Amino acid sequence: MIFNIEQIRADFPILHQQIYKKPLVYFDNAASTQKPRQVIDAIRQYYEHDNCNIHRGVHYLSVKATEAYEEARKEIRQFINARNTHEIIFTKGATESLNLVASSFGKRYIADGDEVITTIMEHHSNFVPWQQMCLERKARLRIVGIDDQGELNLQELKNMVNEKTRLITLTHVSNVLGTINPVKEIIEYAHLHNIPVLLDGAQGVSHIPVDMQELDCDFYCFSGHKMYAPMGTGVLYGKEKYLEELPPYQLGGEMIKDVYLDHTTFNELPFKFEAGTPNVEGVMGLRAAVAYLTALGMSNIAACEDDLLKYATEKLSGIEGMKFFGTSPQKASVISFLIGDIHPYDAGMIIDKMGIAVRTGHHCAQPLIEFLGIPGTVRASFSFYNTFEEIDRLAEAILKVKQMFA
Ligand code: PMP
């Protein structure tokens, strides 16, 4: 173990409780991570000392809150190594970031007959906005498939690229299969053809180090609540050249420069995309989460979670009748499985009664689940605060499920 696990777990108050008279095991981290005391304290500190609407006031509290909010933007730029601070747009989550790009990019760049490439492994948040935008604009959404290990068919993707392709949009890491996609190779190939690439980083940014300048992606989206920060926070990173060109997504206060009776001029980046009063409290928490992750080190986190993934894969593979979905060697700490023919909901309910939180169902990826021809999966997703002993308890719970259905 890279970290002092007791010390880390002491930072997460919610983990120290009994569920059904058993110590809670939280393996639903891909849905949302728990929050360290440092994040909770940052929110309390904000409301007890600094709360005020930002960007609009000349008085002390307003200036203080504005400065803290803009400091947070700088720290997030640094965390993902974006080139410019104004390329960081605060949103309420990955879903809003993805809708923003689909809507604004669609209006600006997509016309009748154009094509957008995505993949079968997308979360609905990076699928439905593009599907609907393509329907509205009479464009074609092309969908890249996967192989038996849950890896993208790269050649198929490359073959799809043509002079009508306007964008490639795909997940960095699959929330169901755990696959870490070869995004660098895809981006390089796309750029050879002058095609921009959007990455849905909702499952990427909390598990592996990400570097916008190294990846050279054109857009990157993520949610705060999956990276130990509050719900209702998120980020859209976009390259300046695209953000400058895109029309605003929402209209109202803060995103304007001047409003006349018959027309309006828009604010500069990033404010053009931040209409209305933002979630300042949440961004204070996001800032604290980024500081927490930075102190641990994203490479250490990736290595620690990889150890947990390897241990769990070996442990659960030893149980007869287990079927795994997503077996790529390039995987984040997510295991999707079925126990023989037992329905995932039945399995999930029994596992829950043993004090273990796993997720069951289609994980907001119906096209993928349909493609796999299964009713859904049970998904265990690990964070650096999880332990090998907790994985042992999951293995015991799976044996119990098997016993009950024998
Ligand atoms: N993309 C992926 C890959 C996800 O896992 C999720 C959340 N499960 C989302 C997008 C949407 O995130 P949010 O609900 O926080 O907007």
Q: The domain at 5-31+297-404 falls in which architecture?
A: Alpha-Beta Complex (3.90)
Measured from the CA of 231, which atom of ligand 1 is nearest? 15
pLDDT digits (tens, 9 = 90+) for 301-318: 999 999 999 999 999 999
Euclidean distance between CA atoms 261 and 153, whole angstroms: 53
pLDDT given at position 31: 98
Burial class (CB in 10 A: 0-12, 13-18, 19+), 228: buried
Query: Taking Cα atoms as reference points, which of 371, 380, 387 lies closest to residue 322?
Result: 380
**Minimum CA distance residue for ligand 1 atom 12:** 94
Q: Within the chain, which residue ranges are assigned CATH 3.40.640.10?
A: 40-295
Looking at beta carbons, which pairs linking 239-245 to residues 24 or more positions away fall under 8 Å? 239/83, 239/87, 239/196, 240/83, 240/84, 240/86, 240/87, 240/269, 242/105, 242/196, 242/218, 243/86, 243/87, 243/89, 243/269, 243/270, 243/272, 243/273, 244/269, 245/108
Q: Is 383 in the pocket of ligand 1 (CB under 6 A)?
A: no
Does the predicted TM-score (pTM) go above 0.95? yes
Euclidean distance between CA atoms 54 and 35, whole angstroms: 25
Q: Is 125 in the pocket of ligand 1 (CB under 6 A)?
A: yes
pLDDT given at position 353: 98
**Which residues, 6+ apart, have CB-to-CB distance to 118 below 8 Å?**
126, 127, 130, 141, 142, 143, 144, 168, 169, 170
pLDDT digits (tens, 9 = 90+) for 152-183: 999 999 999 999 999 999 999 999 999 999 99
pLDDT digits (tens, 9 = 90+) for 265-302: 999 999 999 999 999 999 999 999 999 999 999 999 99
**Minimum CA distance residue for ligand 1 atom 14:** 95
DSSP strands (E only) in 279-376: 322-325, 334-339, 356-357, 359-361
pLDDT given at position 276: 97
pLDDT band at 56 (very low <50, low <70, confident <90, very high): confident
pLDDT band at 1 (very low <50, low <70, confident <90, very high): low
Q: Could you count the other beta carbons within 10 Å of the beta carbon of residue 269?
A: 19
Euclidean distance between CA atoms 225 and 233, whole angstroms: 7
What DSSP designation does 214 have? Answer: H
Give the distance (Å) from ligand 1 centre to CA of residue 337: 20
Q: Any idea what the Cα angle at residue 301 is, between residues 298 and 302, rounded to 5°?
A: 90
Known catalytic residue at 364: yes
Q: Is 123 in the pocket of ligand 1 (CB under 6 A)?
A: yes
pLDDT digits (tens, 9 = 90+) for 3-12: 999 999 999 9
Burial class (CB in 10 A: 0-12, 13-18, 19+), 125: buried
What backbone phi and psi angles, to 5 degrees, belong to 23? -60, 135
**Three-state secondary-structure class, residue 319:** coil
pLDDT given at position 128: 98
Euclidean distance between CA atoms 391 and 403, whole angstroms: 19
**Minimum CA distance residue for ligand 1 atom 8:** 31
Tokens 């994203």 sit at which residue? 298
Q: Which of 98, 125, 130, 231 to mutate to test the pocket of ligand 1 (most atoms within 8 A of CB)?
A: 125
Query: Taking Cα atoms as reference points, which of 144, 148, 150 lies closest to residue 179?
Result: 150
Q: Could you count the other beta carbons within 10 Å of the beta carbon of residue 234?
A: 28
Per-residue CA distances from 282 to 93, 96, 172, 238 (Å): 11, 15, 24, 21
pLDDT band at 2 (very low <50, low <70, confident <90, very high): confident
Q: Within the chain, which residue ranges are assigned CATH 3.90.1150.10?
A: 5-31+297-404
3-state secondary structure string across 340-365 = CCCCHHHHHHHHHHCCEECEEECCCC
- Under CATH, what is the fold of the domain 40-295? Aspartate Aminotransferase; domain 2 (3.40.640)
Query: Taking Cα atoms as reference points, which of 57, 58, 41 lies closest to residue 49?
Result: 41
Q: Is 118 in the pocket of ligand 1 (CB under 6 A)?
A: no
pLDDT given at position 387: 98
pLDDT given at position 57: 84
pLDDT given at position 217: 98
Measured from the CA of 92, which atom of ligand 1 is nearest? 16
